Amino acid sequence: MEDNKAMVIFQPSGSRGLVPKGVTLIEASRLLGVDIEALCGEKKVCGKCIVRIEEGLFEKFGIESGMSHTSEWKEEENEFITAERKESGHRLGCVTKVEGDLLVFVPEESRAGKQVVSKAARDIHITHNPAVKVYYVEVNPPTFEEPTGDFERVCRGLEREFGVKDLTADIYTLRQLPNALREGNWSVTVSVWMDKEVIRFRPGKVEKAYGIAIDVGTTTVAGYFCDLTTMEVIDTVSLMNPQCKYGEDVMARITFHMMNEDGLKRMSDDIIEGLNWIIDQAIKNTYPPKKKKKKKKGEEVSDEWIEVPEEGKTYLRLTREDIEDITLGGNTAMHHILLQLDPEHVGLAPFPPVVHHSLDIKTRDLGININPSSYVFVLPIEAGFVGADNVGVLIAEEPYKSDENALIIDIGTNGELVLGNRHKLISSSCATGPALEGAQLSFGMRAAPGAIERIEIDPETHEVNYKVIGRDAWRKYSEAKDMKAKGICGSGILDVLAELYCAGIITKTGVFNMEQKSDRFRKNPDTKQPEFVLAWKEDSSIDRDIVITQKDIRQIQLAKGALYAGCILMLRRMGLDNPDCVKIAGAFGTHVDRQKALIMGLFPDCKIDMVQSVGNAAGDGCRAALLNVQKRVEANWCSRNVEYVELTVEGDFQKQFMEAMQLPHMTHEFPHLEEGPRIQGVKGSSKALSEGEFGK
Amino acid sequence: MEDNKAMVIFQPSGSRGLVPKGVTLIEASRLLGVDIEALCGEKKVCGKCIVRIEEGLFEKFGIESGMSHTSEWKEEENEFITAERKESGHRLGCVTKVEGDLLVFVPEESRAGKQVVSKAARDIHITHNPAVKVYYVEVNPPTFEEPTGDFERVCRGLEREFGVKDLTADIYTLRQLPNALREGNWSVTVSVWMDKEVIRFRPGKVEKAYGIAIDVGTTTVAGYFCDLTTMEVIDTVSLMNPQCKYGEDVMARITFHMMNEDGLKRMSDDIIEGLNWIIDQAIKNTYPPKKKKKKKKGEEVSDEWIEVPEEGKTYLRLTREDIEDITLGGNTAMHHILLQLDPEHVGLAPFPPVVHHSLDIKTRDLGININPSSYVFVLPIEAGFVGADNVGVLIAEEPYKSDENALIIDIGTNGELVLGNRHKLISSSCATGPALEGAQLSFGMRAAPGAIERIEIDPETHEVNYKVIGRDAWRKYSEAKDMKAKGICGSGILDVLAELYCAGIITKTGVFNMEQKSDRFRKNPDTKQPEFVLAWKEDSSIDRDIVITQKDIRQIQLAKGALYAGCILMLRRMGLDNPDCVKIAGAFGTHVDRQKALIMGLFPDCKIDMVQSVGNAAGDGCRAALLNVQKRVEANWCSRNVEYVELTVEGDFQKQFMEAMQLPHMTHEFPHLEEGPRIQGVKGSSKALSEGEFGK
């Protein structure tokens, strides 16, 4: 064995291989294709990557292993690993380095789960005017009298029949022309982009053209595969952003780029591979499914696959080249990373992006596997923290066409806010952080199987009823062993805060009510911090109680405080007390319970029926830009005319933020809450939170 | 050894290797990197690829070899290989297939020699207005009040300072921006193409930009490396077109494409590799030469290289990226093959090209290694046989700006003709074939060392005095053994015909005067055809007499007849008797003796001082397009407004052609020739040639 390499085996997957000595366990896991959670992007602050170094199994695997083959215990590890767990060999994967052969066990909670993703297309009104149009033209064959070349011959036909002129074509497209023209017996179908450039020649008459709009979220990538001629959404394909392994939030990924020379390229390659996977899935679904040919009597087992079409279903049988247009949206960091534009400065005040304007990039220049002469339309950017995803939301929701004052909230890892009407629009972002999506919480996790997504707490008994992703039945209708709970995800997080408050388990200021008697409430024996058990060890698949701690509650309060304060300051800028309507975009908006959101004080008061979830509006915007070129113009208009306001520089930002962390804010929809929660002793408490109380 | 492979050894190079059984010897030679002449592109008509299968050397090379390991003798081989040479193992490389292990000797005359190429840049007047311009701009760093992104920030500066607006940039260029801007402390040098698109960002202030204009000839590729800011030609780099191995003329290469599935790609890859070689040479010449470090006393031999700059010389030390613009010209076939546009239809009446208009193609899309966001400007095409090279000649010579009727002749493998003035221009092509360049003649060859390039024949003694490429001294001042003659090239061919005629060795109709007594005149013992010895075996490096045969003379007459008839018919179309001036472009024009050309009747009568060689005018046109965008506009105007006339469809084309083959045509400059040549018996002969006389 080489001296500078070490053998590492990961359990339970069994993946093994030589890695250079000195790499961290997280790096080793990447090299060997093992997915370990690294929500913070190896900044050593999330504690999600705890693994266990195994001993006493050397002989079984034929290698010498043990604790001595890792780097020394580090201060940072104390924060996440108790003395007891330290004793049993637990280490932090992003801190611990490989110094010799190792056998590493990755506990269930540290494994990066496959996310459950669902971003269906919404019905939105779009005018049909795609960037890629299809024209059919017949021409005369060349003669000695009229020996004009193929391209000029076809262009003349297009001008005569359709009035399109001054067309160009790139070299890839021109190469198709002579054979297409002759194969089609001097008739050809021409795909034209923006009435400027031919991007495809096909022999004879073809009527269809297809496109795909992809919303590149920090966590989820959603593709809407559309018929460009009918605007029909043929298929929706989603995928977890493959960059998640480099860090959960945008700052973690920017950090990964800054710490690794090839970090940007690796992250870009991964997302491009993801886009190509989405494209391939979309194409694959246009073919009938294949099944293994049945063995007939007396025949050998056949390896042949045969098509088994469903009755009544038409199959398009498309190829990658049949996708002729693509639009992409995403926040500024996702945009920059995908395009390999240095995202470093987007992460530093005053957060200038490399470019605002939309881009038209040849798909081949990005390695996107559709028709190679087609363009990727990349939506424009408003500001460093208000990206192309927000522009997508705007062109889908069109607040610039309305007299109403709309407050549009896109809650992802950052909260992006837009407020205004046809006369003026301002935008801002607030550092909600990833807490609302489950990161940074003791048992926070992505919306994957085992994640608690809904919670109800009985105000009298404090019994917890909950539902996990992957199981339809709630806890009270199930056996403990069937729940297999693993953690809590975004939609469960707002539930838990509202329910804890309404049940009187926490006070207005977010601290645990120490007087409660529930056996679920306790002090953690290690940290001495109060915590509340959401699911008992018997309900879990990780053999531990799933709890929410005082620190977790603080994280959620910080997030919701940032969001609320942002909204208040923006309203003030516009001279408004309340918005006329609130639109919540993003997966969060789809799952959140409007009533609980108002209880929590997530955003300013508004009539509950004027609060609307607009789903993946960023994706809808990409789709609108795919099907209507005018939307591309509007997008660029938005990117330069929506005024970005930096809220953190407002004089009383800190005061607003502090106030906004309290629970609940008064709402006209829930006047009973003015009475405060139902536990004596905290009722009516209105003590303002001091800054000190929120110090770490 | 594998059953379907055979070991082939080529001598004298010694190249050896396994090749698939069934390939021809030419294919085997390519696989093993041996250059065998294949002027006709394996159409089995040039007979240049004769090789000898060696026997009796099996043991020496440890393989079993012999005649039986080749395919059977073919009918086509009889035409080029005498019975005697057949007996000694000679075979035609493009016909004979490998069927077992072989030892193959490639005779000197079948080896593809490295051509001597010289295409220096001429002084032409060009207005300075390059497509790529360099701007320097300083901007303020972003602040919270003004957080605009990098690109928009720089564009605003460019608009303010230079008035250029609505700029775009491709993704490769954008990637440079954030770091260039910060490295230059918020100042940046911006290269802008056509005042439309940024193609490069460099930190701080840089004043220079460079470009290269490349004329892609069928035989020679010439690159002019220019300073875009001063228009100075820094260097000229030439190269034999690497496609020559697939065939000498355009039809041979089109055939190679049609016969080989990957033929087009292979030929394109080869020329692109050639262009990159030219670029690398140009770059390399901007660095001081390196010499091996001298060994000092007591030191080990050092492998280190050190720079040895010449005194008083400035070195630019450029990189590939410093070349920011490139223009390409070439005939239609070269154009199509380079761009991988199917050239098949260009070879078939009515010869429609795929595209006429000039093209702007990203260099990276063609694999050309200069600044990757730069564009290749490909000159436009007039017609199938009047290509971008001719457009180059036109924009260099500008007949469309003159009142004079200019006849512009570009003699390459095809003759391309343009006639006219500012009011009207017509173009045509004539199938001169490659004879004037040396192909199709018994001892024709490229302008490589050993090629006879000048000939004088004493009218009395018929002694031949000649000069070969690679030796300054003429034959009569040299020893026989020093001449090392190998064949005859283009410039020698016109000489030989004029001299043979003036010395009375051939008649007006081009047939040998049978009454002459020179010992150089004889009947070939094999073919029984008359021939004239230009250089004796002792003078040659190929151990054979170098002769010109009756068939050779016919080939030259066919070529010159086609050219002359073309000129005459074009004059008639324009209602002219004679042109006001004749401009001969191409390497041929540089070498040809104007007087001998008029003697031969290569083109219509014109005052000798109005006959001008304009050198590589096609290359000059490429250079003009590089340095002045207006020339690109003129080029496209030419390509659509110069009327192409197909001469072969003229009613009396055949008659004109027949007449034009005669020697000499009367010229006012050489009235003595009206008396006919100096040999009695043929003097004054004016018998018209019958068509039959020119049958094969």
| pLDDT tens digit sequence for A278-292 | 999 999 989 988 877
Among B144, B177, B199, B373, the residue to mutate for chain A (most A Cβ within 10 A): B144
- pLDDT bracket for residue B548 (50, 70, 90): very high
| DSSP category for residue A86 | H
Displacement of CA B440 from its chain's centroid (Å): 16
* CB contact (8 A) between residue A365 and residue B172: yes
Nearest 5°: phi and psi at B467? Answer: -130, 140
The pLDDT value recorded for residue A430 is 84
Question: In this structure, what token pair is assigned to residue B1?
Answer: 């050894």
Judge contact between A376 and A363, C-beta under 8 A.
Answer: yes
The pLDDT value recorded for residue A669 is 41
pLDDT of A595 strictly over 50: yes
The pLDDT value recorded for residue A203 is 97
Mean of pLDDT values over A525-545: 90
Q: Which of B26, B68, B33, B32 is nearest to B51 (CA)?
A: B26
Interface pTM (ipTM) of the complex? 0.78
The set of residues, in sequence order, having a beta carbon less than 8 Å from that of B553 and lying 6+ positions away, is B497, B500, B506, B510, B512
Any chain A CB within 8 A of the CB of B367?
A: no
Mean of pLDDT values over A352-371: 97
Cα–Cα distance measured from residue B239 to residue B273, given in angstroms and rounded to the nearest whole number? 11
Which residue of chain B has the CA closest to A356?
B149
pLDDT of A582 strictly over 80: yes
Q: Which residues pair with B138 in a beta bridge?
A: B187
Between B498 and B214, residue with greater pLDDT: B214
Which residue of chain A has the CA closest to B648?
A144
* CB contact (8 A) between residue B152 and residue A351: no
Judge contact between B23 and B8, C-beta under 8 A.
Answer: no
Could you give the C-alpha distances from B381 to A148, B368, B427, in angstroms and in order? 10, 21, 12
* CB contact (8 A) between residue A171 and residue B354: no
* CB contact (8 A) between residue A649 and residue B144: yes
What are the residue ranges of CATH 3.30.420.480 in chain B?
A: 212-292+305-378
Any chain B CB within 8 A of the CB of A384?
A: yes
Any chain B CB within 8 A of the CB of A183?
A: no
Judge contact between B421 and B398, C-beta under 8 A.
Answer: no
Give the up-direction half-sphere exposure of residue A470: CA atoms within 13 A in the CB hemisphere: 20
Cα–Cα distance measured from residue A221 to residue A385, given in angstroms and rounded to the nearest whole number? 19
Among A171, A179, A272, the residue to mutate for chain B (most B Cβ within 10 A): A171
- pLDDT bracket for residue B686 (50, 70, 90): very low
Among A170, A197, A341, the residue to mutate for chain B (most B Cβ within 10 A): A341
Q: Which residues of chain A make contact with B150, given a CB cutoff of 8 A?
A: 345, 352-355
Displacement of CA B407 from its chain's centroid (Å): 22
Among B355, B359, B382, the residue to mutate for chain A (most A Cβ within 10 A): B355
Cα–Cα distance measured from residue B549 to residue B435, given in angstroms and rounded to the nearest whole number? 13
Q: Please state which of the ranges A333-347, A398-412, B180-194 shows the lowest mean pLDDT.
A: A398-412
What fold characterizes domain A211-292+307-378? Nucleotidyltransferase; domain 5 (3.30.420)
Displacement of CA B693 from its chain's centroid (Å): 32
Judge contact between A328 and A389, C-beta under 8 A.
Answer: no
| DSSP category for residue B218 | S
pTM for the whole structure: 0.78
Q: What is the 3-state secondary structure (H, E, C) of A408-450?
A: EEEECCCEEEEEECCCCEEEEEECCHHHHHCCCCCCECCCCCC
For residues B508, B512, B515, B517, the Cα torsion angle rounded to the nearest 10 degrees is 120
Q: What CATH number was assigned to the domain covering residues B212-292+305-378?
A: 3.30.420.480
Q: Is A190 helix (H, G, I), strand (E, B) or coil?
A: strand
* CB contact (8 A) between residue B353 and residue A149: yes
Cα–Cα distance measured from residue B438 to residue A32, given in angstroms and rounded to the nearest whole number? 64
- pLDDT bracket for residue A121 (50, 70, 90): low
pLDDT of A393 strictly over 60: yes
The pLDDT value recorded for residue A99 is 85
What are the residue ranges of CATH 3.10.20.30 in chain B?
A: 5-110
The pLDDT value recorded for residue B596 is 78
* CB contact (8 A) between residue A150 and residue B174: no
The pLDDT value recorded for residue A691 is 32
Classify the phi-psi angles of A48: left when phi > 0, otherwise alpha if psi is within -120 to 50, otherwise beta.
alpha
Which residue of chain B has the CA closest to A373?
B365
What are the residue ranges of CATH 3.10.20.880 in chain A?
A: 132-203
Q: Which residues of chain A make contact with B381, given a CB cutoff of 8 A?
A: 149
Average pLDDT for chain B: 84
The pLDDT value recorded for residue A442 is 86
pLDDT digits (tens, 9 = 90+) for A376-385: 999 999 987 7
Between A468 and A115, residue with greater pLDDT: A468
* CB contact (8 A) between residue A142 and residue B352: yes
pLDDT digits (tens, 9 = 90+) for B634-675: 999 999 999 888 887 788 888 888 888 887 644 444 444 444
**DSSP symbols for A240-268:** E-GGGGG-SSHHHHHHHHHH-TTHHHHHH
Between B347 and B215, residue with greater pLDDT: B215
pLDDT of A212 strictly over 90: yes
Any chain A CB within 8 A of the CB of B153?
A: yes
The pLDDT value recorded for residue B691 is 32
What is the residue type of A217? Answer: G
Between A116 and A566, residue with greater pLDDT: A566
Q: Which residues of chain B make contact with A347, given a CB cutoff of 8 A?
A: none
Mean of pLDDT values over A485-498: 85
The pLDDT value recorded for residue A434 is 67
Mean of pLDDT values over A171-180: 97
* CB contact (8 A) between residue B384 and residue A147: yes
The pLDDT value recorded for residue A297 is 65
pLDDT of A416 strictly over 80: yes
The pLDDT value recorded for residue B240 is 83
pLDDT of A59 strictly over 70: no
Among A264, A342, A382, A644, the residue to mutate for chain B (most B Cβ within 10 A): A342
Q: What is the 3-state secondary structure (H, E, C) of B115-178?
A: CCCCCCCCCCCCCCECCEEEEEEECCCCCCCCCCCHHHHHHHHHHHHHCCCCCEECHHHHHHHH
What are the residue ranges of CATH 3.30.420.480 in chain A?
A: 211-292+307-378
Distance from CA of B379 to the nearest CA of A (A): 14
Which residue of chain B has the CA closest to A143?
B350
Which residue of chain B has the CA closest to A644?
B147
pLDDT of B273 strictly over 90: yes
Question: Quick one: B519 exposed, middle or buried, by C-beta within 10 A (0-12, 13-18, 19+)?
Answer: exposed
* CB contact (8 A) between residue B365 and residue A177: no
Question: In this structure, what token pair is assigned to residue A181?
Answer: 């023209």
pLDDT of A579 strictly over 80: yes
Cα–Cα distance measured from residue A340 to residue A394, given in angstroms and rounded to the nearest whole number? 25
For residues B268, B269, B271, B275, the Cα torsion angle rounded to the nearest 10 degrees is 130
Any chain A CB within 8 A of the CB of B149?
A: yes
Question: In this structure, what token pair is assigned to residue B417?
Answer: 């003709």
The pLDDT value recorded for residue A349 is 83
CB proximity under 8 Å: B 340-359 to A = 340-342, 344-345, 349-357, 359
**DSSP symbols for B531-572:** EEEEE-GGGBSSSS-EEEEHHHHHHHHHHHHHHHHHHHHHHH
The pLDDT value recorded for residue A301 is 59
The pLDDT value recorded for residue A113 is 53
Between A68 and A418, residue with greater pLDDT: A418
Give, rounded to a whole angstrom, the gap between the first and last alpha carbons of chain B: 47
* CB contact (8 A) between residue B383 and residue A170: no
Of the candidates A170, A178, A344, the beta carbon closest to that of B342 is on A178
Q: Please state which of the ranges A295-304, A584-593, B87-96, B419-428 shows the lowest mean pLDDT.
A: A295-304
Any chain A CB within 8 A of the CB of B14?
A: no
The pLDDT value recorded for residue B322 is 97
Only one residue has tokens 């929701």, namely A397
Which residue of chain A has the CA closest to B372?
A365
Of the candidates A175, A341, A350, the beta carbon closest to that of B143 is on A350
Q: Which residues pair with B212 in a beta bridge?
A: B225, B326
Average pLDDT for chain A: 84
Q: What is the CA radius of gyration of chain B?
A: 28
* CB contact (8 A) between residue B151 and residue A384: no
* CB contact (8 A) between residue A178 and residue B147: no
The pLDDT value recorded for residue A433 is 67
- pLDDT bracket for residue A667 (50, 70, 90): very low
Mean of pLDDT values over A572-597: 83
Judge contact between A661 and A488, C-beta under 8 A.
Answer: no
* CB contact (8 A) between residue A344 and residue B178: yes
What is the residue type of A38? Answer: A
- pLDDT bracket for residue A302 (50, 70, 90): low
The pLDDT value recorded for residue A692 is 33
* CB contact (8 A) between residue B149 and residue A179: no
Q: Which residues of chain A make contact with B646, given a CB cutoff of 8 A?
A: 144, 147
Architecture in CATH of B132-203:
Roll (3.10)
pLDDT digits (tens, 9 = 90+) for B409-465: 987 767 889 999 999 999 998 877 667 766 678 888 877 788 898 899 998 899 999
The pLDDT value recorded for residue A279 is 97
Any chain A CB within 8 A of the CB of B174?
A: yes
Q: Which residues of chain B make contact with A178, given a CB cutoff of 8 A?
A: 341-342, 344-345, 354
Judge contact between B630 and B127, C-beta under 8 A.
Answer: yes
The pLDDT value recorded for residue A6 is 83
Q: Which residues of chain A make contact with B148, given a CB cutoff of 8 A?
A: 352, 356
Q: Please state which of the ranges A273-287, B307-321, B532-546, B664-678 shows the lowest mean pLDDT.
A: B664-678
Angle, alpha carbons B77-B83-B84 (nearest 5°): 125
Q: Please state which of the ranges A549-553, B231-235, B311-315, B473-477 shows the lowest mean pLDDT.
A: B311-315
Any chain A CB within 8 A of the CB of B651?
A: no
Of the candidates B144, B345, B649, the beta carbon closest to that of A349 is on B144
* CB contact (8 A) between residue B149 and residue A646: no
Angle, alpha carbons A150-A155-A156 (nearest 5°): 100
Any chain B CB within 8 A of the CB of A198?
A: no
* CB contact (8 A) between residue A175 and residue B341: yes
Of the candidates A149, A354, A361, the beta carbon closest to that of B356 is on A149
- Chains A and B form CB pairs within 8 A to the count of 130
Judge contact between A258 and B178, C-beta under 8 A.
Answer: no
A5-110 under CATH 3.10.20.30, yes or no: yes
The pLDDT value recorded for residue B590 is 66
| DSSP category for residue A62 | T
Cα–Cα distance measured from residue A220 to residue A218, given in angstroms and rounded to the nearest whole number? 6
* CB contact (8 A) between residue A355 and residue B152: yes
Cα–Cα distance measured from residue A477 to residue A433, given in angstroms and rounded to the nearest whole number? 35
Between A111 and A576, residue with greater pLDDT: A576
- pLDDT bracket for residue B301 (50, 70, 90): low
Q: Is B11 helix (H, G, I), strand (E, B) or coil?
A: strand
Q: Please state which of the ranges A628-642, B188-202, B382-396 shows the lowest mean pLDDT.
A: B382-396
pLDDT of B292 strictly over 60: yes
Greatest mean pLDDT range, A577-591, B71-85, B122-136: B122-136
